[in-house]
Amino acid sequence: MIIDWHEKLLEYFPAREMKSKKHFESLFTEKEKLYKKEEGPEYVLIYLEQKDFIFIDYILVSGSRRSRGTGSRLLGRLKQKNKAIILEVEPENANDPDSLKRIDFYQRNGFKEYGSIQYERIHAVTGELNKMDIYCWAPSPRTEEWVFERMENVYEEVHAFNSEKLYSKKPQPVEEVLKLRKKSFSRAK
């Protein structure tokens, strides 16, 4: 039996992180030059490519192919475009041993966590709260504010895209989903 790309994603990612197949199809159709899918027998890569950055929406390497360099090669191909690459990563979770492996993988590939960006949204179908950490790799340094602005764009152009039509619900306002926490410093006494 041949499993299609969407079924592969459904098998791996929790429901609170998934888009409906219709949501994907509307993005592929209406944003065909920007929202892209690459797939092979051992991977699925879905991303948004803007003029100054790439947002990886989903990257999945089949279990049997992990730790063989496939994911690093996919990231390497995107890095050759010489644009910042932004992605969302589930925070470390003791109940999910793969969570630390994913974080390690991105850090080994040069991604940095942008900890002052808070990303919390309620899934349109499941109603579950989805908290993600934001990571970025860039050929030159990027500020938290720069990454935050791109994530606002991603939320509106990808996650909330056609939400009302597809899910019969208004998407959460971007300012409810994304917040830039102020860094606080304490004075030495």
What's the confidence (pLDDT) of residue 41? Answer: 83
Q: Average of pLDDT values for 110-138? A: 94
Q: Reply yes or no on whether the pLDDT at 184 is more than 90.
A: no
13-33 tens-digit pLDDT: 888 889 999 999 999 999 999
Non-local (6+) Cβ contacts of 122 within 8 A are: 128, 129, 130, 172
Domains of the chain, earliest start first: 5-180 (3.40.630.30)
Residue 123: Cβ-neighbour burial (10 angstroms; 0-12, 13-18, 19+): middle
Per-residue model confidence (pLDDT) at position 1: 44
Q: What residues contact residue 142 under an 8 Å CB cut-off, 6+ apart?
A: 84, 136
User: Is-above-0.85 flag for pTM?
Assistant: yes
* Distance separating alpha carbons of residues 22 and 178, to the nearest angstrom: 25
State the DSSP code for 94.
Answer: T
Predicted confidence at residue 65, as pLDDT, reads 58
Torsion from C-alpha of 170, 173, 176, 181, nearest 10 degrees: 150
Whole-number pLDDT of residue 151: 98
Alpha helices, DSSP H only, in the chain?
5-12, 21-30, 70-79, 97-108, 144-154, 163-167, 174-177
